[in-house]
Amino acid sequence: MTSAGRIFSGVQPTGNLHLGNYLGAIKNWVELQTDFDCIYCVVDLHAITVPQEPVNLRRSIREVTACLIASGIDPSRSVLFNQSRVPQHAELAWVFNCVARLGWLNRMTQFKEKAGMNKENATVGLYAYPTLMAADILCYKATHVPVGEDQKQHLELTRDIALAFNSMFDVDFFPQPEPQIQKTASRVMSLRDGTSKMSKSDTSDATRINLTDSVDDIAQKIKRAKTDPEALPSEAEGLADRPEARNLVRIFSGLSGRTESHILAEFGGQGFGVFKPALAELVVDVISPISQKMNQLLAEPDEIDKLLASGAEQAYAITGPVLEDVKKIIGLTPP
Ligand code: TYM
C-alpha cells in the first residue's frame, strides 16, 4: 500500500471505451498507480440502469477489463474487479438511499439527459444511480476520485452524502473524497459537434474514436471530423469561438502532453489539411498498441475472469469491515 491516499474510480461496461474515456480518466488512472493505493472498478450494476442484452453485457465486462489492462492498469499493483461481485456496493447504496434527499437527486443533470423526455419510463435505478456511485467510492473510504468533467456533480453529491451520514449519526466516519479532473482533456467533444460530449451512447460511431478502431477507421474519422474553413490560430485565445478546432487541438494536447500554445506555435497559420494527418498519426501511435494488447488478452477470457475474481476478493477485504462498521453505527447490529 502506498501513502498518498486511496483512489477509487469506475467505468461502465456499455460498449467500447473511447478517446474521451481514455484522455478524461484512464490515462490519469494509469499514472496515479505510482503514488496511490488504487481501486478500479468495471461498474456493471450501473450499466443495468438502462436495458442491456445479457450476452453483450457479459462480453463488455471482459472487453472493458482487457482494455483497462491494455491501457496500463496493472492488476498486480491496483485492485481491478467488476462491481457486482462485491455486494457491499449495493448494500451501502441502499443505506445512502435512506440518507440522500429527493431534492438532491432531482438536481442531477445526467439523469435529466439520460431519461430524456420520457422520465416516467426511466428505471428507479437510473434515478438512484448517484447514490450507488457514492457507495462505490465511500465503501473504500476513498480520498481521491479521478473522473472526467461530466462526473463532477455526482462527486459533489457524494461529498454531501458523506457529510450528511456523519452528521446524522454524529460520527467522523466517511472522508470527503476529492475529484481529480484533468486540465487538458476533461471533456472530449464529439468529432461531429464540438458542443456535445464524445459518448458511448451516441448513435453515430463517426462521433467518437473507439480504443478498438483500426488505423483506417481512425484516419477516416479524423479526416471527416467537423471543422471550420479558417486556418489554425497561432495562440490559444484564437480557439475561443471555434469548438471543433479547439476540441481537436485539445485531443492533440492530451495525447502528446504538449500545451495548446506549443501546438499552435507549430501549426498556427496552417489548415486542417496539415493538422488532421498529424493528429491521426498521434492517435494511431497511442491507440494501436492498446487495441493489439486488448485482442491478445481477449484470446484468453478465462484468465480475465480469474483476474476479476481475484480483484473482487481484494476489494471485499476492504468493504466487508467498512459495512460492518456502518451497520453498527446505524444500529442494525450491536456495537
Ligand atoms: P463512464 O463509464 O461514462 O465514463 C468513464 C470515465 O470516462 C470519463 N469520460 C470522459 N472524459 C472526458 N471526455 C469525455 N467525452 C468523456 N466521456 C466519459 C468519465 O467522466 C468517467 O470518469 N458514473 C461513471 C462511472 C462510475 C464512477 C463511480 C466513477 C460509477 N461509479 C465511482 C467514479 C467513481 C460513468 O458513467 O462513467
Strands 178-180 vs 144-146: parallel, antiparallel or unpaired: parallel
Tell how far the Cα of 238 is from the centroid of ligand 1, in angstroms: 29
Ligand 1 and 151: CB distance under 6 A: yes
Q: Where exactly are the structural domains of the chain?
A: 6-186+301-330, 205-296
For 6-186+301-330, CATH number out of 3.40.50.620, 3.50.50.60, 3.30.1950.10, 3.40.50.720 equals 3.40.50.620
**Nearest alpha-carbon partner for 152 in 127, 133, 167:** 133
> Measured over all CA atoms, what is the biggest interatomic distance in the chain, rounded to whole angstroms?
71
Nearest CA to ligand 1 atom 33: 9
The residue from 152, 200, 276, 327 that is catalytic is 200
Q: What's the CA-to-centroid distance between 42 and ligand 1, angstroms?
A: 11
**Amino acid residing at 137:** I
pLDDT at 3: 60
> Which pLDDT score is estimated for 185?
81
Q: What does the pLDDT read at residue 118? A: 87
Asked if 16 contacts 210 with a C-beta cutoff of 8 angstroms, the reply is yes
Strands of the chain (E only): list them: 6-11, 37-42, 79-82, 144-146, 178-180
Burial class (CB within 10 angstroms; exposed 0-12, middle 13-18, buried 19+) of 109: exposed
Instruction: From the options 1.10.240.10, 1.10.8.10, 1.10.357.10, 3.90.1170.50, give the CATH code of 205-296.
Output: 1.10.240.10
pLDDT score for 184 = 77
Indicate whether residue 82 lines ligand 1 (CB < 6 A): no
What does pTM read for this prediction? 0.96
Q: Is 51 exposed, middle or buried (0-12, 13-18, 19+ CB in 10 A)?
A: exposed
Q: Is 49 within 8 Å of 125 (Cβ atoms)?
A: yes
Report the distance separating Cα 323 and Cα 175, nearest Å: 15
DSSP string, 24-81: IIIHHHHHHTTTSEEEEEE-HHHHTTS---HHHHHHHHHHHHHHHHHHT--TTTSEEE
Residue 315's pLDDT is 98
Ligand 1 binding pocket includes 134 (Cβ within 6 Å):
no
Non-local (6+) Cβ contacts of 54 within 8 A are none
Q: How far is the CA of 147 from the centre of ligand 1 (A)?
A: 6
Amino acid in the structure at residue 126: L
Q: Which of 14, 17, 21, 155 to mutate to test the pocket of ligand 1 (most atoms within 8 A of CB)?
A: 21
Q: What is the DSSP string of 305-318?
A: HHHHHHHHHHHHHH
pLDDT in tens, the chain (335 residues): 456 899 999 999 998 899 999 999 999 999 999 999 999 999 999 999 999 999 999 999 999 999 999 999 999 999 999 999 999 999 999 999 999 999 999 999 999 999 988 899 999 999 999 999 999 999 999 999 999 999 999 999 999 999 999 999 999 999 999 999 988 788 999 999 999 999 998 999 999 999 999 999 999 999 999 999 999 999 999 999 999 999 999 999 999 999 999 999 999 999 999 999 999 999 999 999 999 999 999 999 999 999 999 999 999 999 999 999 999 999 999 99
pLDDT at 111: 95
The answer to whether 164 touches 100, Cβ cutoff 8 Å, is yes
Q: Is 328 noted as a catalytic residue in this protein?
A: no
